[in-house]
Chain A
Amino acid sequence: MPESIAKVAVQVTVNGKSHSLNLEPRMLLVEMLREELDLTGTHVGCDTTYCGACTVLLNGAAVKSCTMFAVQADGAEITTVEGLEKDGQLHPIQKAFGDAYGLQCGYCTPGLMLSTLQLLSKNQQPNEKDIRKAIAGNTCRCTGYQNILKAMRFAAENMKGA
């Protein structure tokens, strides 16, 4: 492997804020978020495209940020868990996860909330199957799924008409 790798200029909007960065092409998107932008709410769980702890929205679509290079996000808009809260007010999805006790250790929670956001932005009245399918790529190793599903139902209610 070469000792120094030429850096690449990347322009990316994260949670509405534009950033110009110079990144090694091998840097993963999740590393950019955590290490360059200090947005440590996006977690790395398995690092093998399984667990979904690193889920963020890329131009509105849920993706696993450990399975994409940061340079590939050039020109994109990214939403992380830090972008959910607005003006000190919790997002309805965050509120729902609190109200339904939809978290235990909290490690998987940011990813689950972003998967929930993608679901509800495309389908305002999800049925049970839609809800389960939306988080098939998010693993909760506390196995707190019942309350997570409940939180997602609450979130769908909270966001109705929003």
Chain B
Amino acid sequence: MLSQLGDDAKLLAGGQSLIPLMKLRFANPTHLVDLNFIAGTSFIKEADGSLRFGPLTRHAEIENSAFAAKIPILHDCAAGIADVQVRNRGTIGGSLAEADPSGDWAVVLSTLSTQIRCWGKNGERTVDLQDFVKDAYTTDLAHDELVSEVVVKVPAKGSGGAYLAFKRAAPVYPTASAAVQLTMDGNICTDATIALGCVGLTAIRAKESEAALRGQPIGEKTLAAATDAARAAADPQSDMRGSAEYKRTLVSALVRRAIDIATRRARGERVEVSHIYA
């Protein structure tokens, strides 16, 4: 259908970004293809050590799912996106396919092993998340392809994560956000993935920050190294949400807090997280 309608056709998932963009005339599609009436596109299943999300699965469904409750970082993300009304409509597949630099899902899922299944007239293919998001608002999807499934590997035992976003109010995009997933063996961090949101054109993996933690005990010295590295990895722009310098400071503070929560969760502690409002 998309190949018949031509380049100016767009897919409509939850519409919580696309419809506002159309009202602002930033998006001017000649045709919209509404995916919401297609049965079987909203689901969460666990199979072979992975969680599989249907593309039209709403944030609210993930927030309230027993599966996501087992991976706290997914719950942090789903429960913190915008507000109840937006979470009731917005979808995980739509969020990833839109690739907004301030979107939440790409940040969180890049700390886990995530694959995107893309479906088009030539069949289905699987792309790693880091290869799926190419740039701001740009993905690996061809014009006549869509996201058919999001596959997230369940983290190993002893692994814990946290996602924190700093927002001026619930319905707005965060000023900055940080996602941390750690595997702990006693006090030693054996593996770490850290991603930063809203401080670059796509989610940024803070690899130096991860390296500062890997194989080390979590303490003041490693935390300082990890947060300094996160500050350096961030590439923010000054805008109405704050200056670039402010966002660097903010993101490094978020990384520090997220490491603390992730460490506690890796040890089996239950820590409730809510996003931070100015």
Contact residues of A with B, CB < 8 Å?
25, 28, 47-52, 55, 58, 61-64, 67-69, 71-72, 115, 118-119, 129, 133-134, 136-139
Question: Is B269 on the interface with A (CB-CB < 8 A)?
Answer: no
Cα distance A118–B89 when bound, in Å? 14
In the complex, the chain B residue whose C-beta lies closest to that of A114 is B85
Given contact pairs A67-B15, A67-B16, A72-B34, A62 touches B23 in the complex (Cβ within 8 A): no
Cα distance A139–B34 when bound, in Å? 29
Partner of A63, one of B34, B89, B170: B89
Question: Is B243 on the interface with A (CB-CB < 8 A)?
Answer: no
What are the 3 tightest A-B residue pairs by CB atom distance, in nearest-first order? A137-B83, A136-B170, A61-B88
Q: Is the CB of B36 within 8 A of A136?
A: no
Cα distance A72–B23 when bound, in Å? 17
Per-position binary interface string of chain B over residues 2-26, scored 1 when its CB falls under 8 Å from any chain A CB and 0 otherwise? 0000000000000110011001100
Q: Is the CB of A67 within 8 A of B84?
A: no
Partner of A137, one of B20, B32, B36, B84: B84
Cα distance A49–B169 when bound, in Å? 13
Which residues from chain A contact B32 at a C-beta distance below 8 Å? 25, 69
Which residues from chain B contact A137 at a C-beta distance below 8 Å? 82-86, 170-171
Cα distance A51–B172 when bound, in Å? 10
Identify 5 residue pairs between A and B in the complex whose beta-carbon atoms are under 8 Å apart, listed by A's number: A52-B171, A62-B88, A67-B19, A69-B19, A129-B274
Interface residue tally for chain B (C-beta within 8 Å): 22
Q: Is the CB of A61 within 8 A of B83?
A: no
Cα distance A61–B63 when bound, in Å? 14
Which residues from chain A contact B82 at a C-beta distance below 8 Å? 137
Given contact pairs A67-B19, A137-B170, A137-B171, A49 touches B60 in the complex (Cβ within 8 A): no
Cα distance A54–B106 when bound, in Å? 29
Q: Is the CB of B86 within 8 A of A49?
A: yes
Cα distance A25–B29 when bound, in Å? 13
Partner of A62, one of B19, B84, B171, B172: B84
Q: Is the CB of A55 within 8 A of B85?
A: yes
Q: Is the CB of A49 within 8 A of B16?
A: yes
Cα distance A154–B29 when bound, in Å? 46
Given contact pairs A67-B15, A137-B170, A118 touches B84 in the complex (Cβ within 8 A): yes
Q: Is the CB of A49 within 8 A of B20?
A: yes
Cα distance A63–B86 when bound, in Å? 7
